[in-house]
Amino acid sequence: MAGDATASSEPQPHILLIDDVPEDIRATLVLLKAQSWRISLASDAHQGYQRALALRPDLIVLDVHMPQMDGFSLCRLLREAPATRQTPILFLSSANSSFERLEGLTVGGVDYIPKSCAPEEVLARIRIHLQLTWRVPPPREANPADPEPEGDEIVLRAAMRWIEEHLDDMPSLVQLAHKVGTHEKRLSRIFREHLGLTVFAYIRDARLRRGQDLLAESAMSVQDVAELVGFRNACNFTTAFRQRIGMTPSQFREQTQGRADAESAGRA
């Protein structure tokens, strides 16, 4: 569904609105359709995801509370897909607690607008973000010849990013799958097929990799490092660390710092 075309041959920005209850934003839609912009609609997150990848809009307006997949999960997927990675995403939602607003901005939204805002303000904010990004060329990919990731790979990337950012507070597998817009069986299959690991094995490896970095780069205690990467106590961390690295965290730190001291002395 698109707005009226203009008499001008100049290309116009294309806006995709994703909301399962479009009646809630009817007044805003009326204002948007009065502009010289292309307007497309999607009535749920899955449809919105497919249309975003296919249409490659210049800006996406996204609701939060939708069935099956919420707006936060969808935003994570859109941020991993090359076609929409740079597309401005504005949340327009009745979910307006401080936690929800922060979540929306954290997962990649450039703005968070309550549905209680006057339609004229919504239009003004959309116009501002279009002015900031419309016709700005997207950054070049490192290797344009590389094939674009398929659906499973995008889910995998979103899950891996979420895990890396929440090592100290990991939810259940069901909750993690929900965060990236899928279900636990599919997420488990994706990790097995693409990485040869279970989700929990990947989480454990990610925690230990991050633990190595913290031991090498900081003076934090082993207990603090263990807590930051999601282990309940230093003993559990030490046991897992020894099994993977072949030495205790303290031995690893001594070895790493000794190597760094030797390299510094060699440069002096």
pTM, 2 dp: 0.76
DSSP secondary structure string, 87-109? S-EEEEES---HHHHHHHHHTT-
| Token duo for residue 268 | 């002096």
Examine the domain organization and report whether 57 and 98 are in the same domain. yes
H/E run at residue 38: strand 38-42
Which pLDDT score, from 0 to 100, does residue 236 have? 94
Total number of domains constituting the chain:
2
Query: CA separation (Å) from 72 to 133, 162, 214?
Result: 22, 12, 29
- DSSP SS3 for 9: coil
Residue 148: pLDDT band with limits 50, 70, 90: low
16 or 219: whose pLDDT is higher? 16
Q: Is residue 251 part of a domain?
A: yes
Examine the domain organization and report whether 30 and 127 are in the same domain. yes
Residue 6: pLDDT band with limits 50, 70, 90: very low
The burial class, CB within 10 Å (0-12 / 13-18 / 19+), for 11 is exposed
Q: Is residue 139 part of a domain?
A: no
| Token duo for residue 233 | 């106590």
* Span 150-191, pLDDT tens digits: 789 999 999 999 999 888 889 999 999 999 999 999 999 999
CATH code of the domain containing 167: 1.10.10.60
Examine the domain organization and report whether 177 and 238 are in the same domain. yes
* Domain coverage including residue 99: 14-133
Mean local confidence (pLDDT), 82-107: 93
Query: CA separation (Å) from 228 to 118, 157, 204, 213?
Result: 43, 22, 13, 12
Query: CA separation (Å) from 96 to 46, 104, 182, 189?
Result: 23, 10, 24, 35
- DSSP SS3 for 19: coil
CATH code of the domain containing 116: 3.40.50.2300
H/E run at residue 112: strand 111-114
Which pLDDT score, from 0 to 100, does residue 195 have? 93
Examine the domain organization and report whether 218 and 127 are in the same domain. no
Q: Is 80 exceeded by the pLDDT of residue 237?
A: yes
Which pLDDT score, from 0 to 100, does residue 7 have? 43
